[in-house]
Amino acid sequence: MRAKRRPKLSDQIRRAIDASGLSRYRICMEIGLDQAVLSRFMQGKSGLSVKTLDALADILRLEIVQRGKPAPIPKGRPGRKPKAKKGR
């Protein structure tokens, strides 16, 4: 049996925007965001900056709540070879 996958944070934000009752135009005007940027985000074609996410969280009255233990952070630098030590 497979564990149920939790929705991504970006998907949850998209749903919150749709459920807010605010027009996308008004959201953009309130936080100073170009409508094209929000449109691309809503289509899943691009992400948003942390600054923009903070502004969205304020206008939509969102907060992040952690459930359970966070996943462990992998050690090292993923996708990169370890640096060679000098003198060897």
pTM listed for this prediction: 0.71
The domains found in the chain, sorted by start residue, are 9-60 (1.10.260)
Pick from 26, 23, 50, 48: nearest CA to 38: 48
Rounded distance between C-alpha atoms, residue 14 and residue 20, angstroms:
10
pLDDT tens-digit series, residues 40-78: 999 999 999 999 999 999 999 999 888 888 878 777 766
> pLDDT-based confidence at 5, cuts 50/70/90?
confident
